[in-house]
Chains A and B, each alone.
Chain A
Amino acid sequence: MPMTTEKAQITLPTDREVKVTRSFKAARPLVYRAYTEPALVQRWVLGPPGWSMPVCEMDVRVGGRYRWRWRSDTDGSEFGFAGTFREVTPPSRLVHTEAYDPGTVGYAYPQSEALVSVTFTQDSGITTVTTLIDYGSKDARDAAVATGMTDGMEQSYQLLDALVSEHA
């Protein structure tokens, strides 16, 4: 069923950060569950097409660890992310560190640890999720965005519109 919510918006609030905003047609506790229950997370944080997520372990409490790993369907190579939860406030906020695990893929992604703050706000049945990622440095941020686990060069002018029409 097509959703009427807006598509993901990306902004660059500072040199080191990326902010991702997206709204969902669901109550906040439900969205929070989809972010914190491994069986649910595994179904949508899939990575690029042709990759599965065989490892999704999450101990969602302050100081608890999580480990995500993706595997290529074609050659079995793996990479992942891991980190520690710093703030757990259901159903409104999650803060965790995020370190790249090169696995067997090998390429060097940002070595430094990123800090990811996820905020859930609700307004008349729509939950907006704001993800602020502080990559620690501009180089790490740019590398992460340039690598962007992605499925090709789909070009859209939505962002251009957003940037330009913001003050038009």
Chain B
Amino acid sequence: MHTQMSDRLDATFLALADPTRRAILARLARGEASVTELAEPFAMSQPAVSKHLKILERAGLITVGQDAQRRPRRFEGKPLAEANAWLERYRASWEASFERLDGVLEELQRRTSASTRARRRPPSPRLRRAGTKR
């Protein structure tokens, strides 16, 4: 994989590895907010929030808005979309196999229930006649 891309993904996944940072991102995905506004709902000190924001910023997951006073943080979707695309190709290959497994399991289930029924009671003469016609 391209090294630059790999470094970017590392930064993204590192940033996402922490539940508080994911919560901050989820909050910012609903609209921009200042450090003060972010510190409140998370019951954290502003320096603690700033530390998390720095990591998110380094990963490109957030940017700082125009307002020099409030310095609102804004959610940026691109790194997440990149990280998602990287994992999604891998996920899609698993999912393709699992969908075939769905089919195999359905067939096994049909066969199992059919043989259980057959064991429980022999087919009626009418059913048997219908069977020979086919």
Contact = CB atoms under 8 A, between A and B. Distances in A.
A88 interface: no
B87 interface: yes
B97 A157 contact: no
A137 B128 CA distance: 61
A146 B80 contact: no
Interface in B91-120: 91-98, 100-106, 108-109, 112
A156 interface: yes
B1 A164 contact: no
Contacts of A149: 93
Contact of B84 (A24, A48, A148, A160): A160
A10 B94 contact: yes
Contacts of A154: 88-89, 92
A10 B13 CA distance: 13
B55 interface: no
A145 interface: yes
B105 A24 contact: yes
Interface residues of B, number: 39
Given A145-B86, A164-B26, A44 B101 contact: yes
A10 B80 contact: no
Nearest to A166: B22
A24 B23 CA distance: 30
B25 interface: yes
A149 B80 CA distance: 22
Contact of B105 (A12, A26, A49, A145): A26
B6 A142 contact: yes
Nearest to A18: B90
11 contacts: A1-B106, A9-B91, A26-B106, A31-B105, A34-B105, A40-B108, A146-B86, A150-B93, A154-B88, A159-B84, A163-B84
Interface of B: 1, 6, 9, 13, 16, 19, 22-23, 25-26, 29, 77, 80-81, 84-98, 100-106, 108-109, 112
9 shortest interchain CB distances as A-B pairs: A148-B90, A44-B100, A168-B26, A26-B105, A44-B101, A167-B23, A150-B93, A146-B1, A150-B89
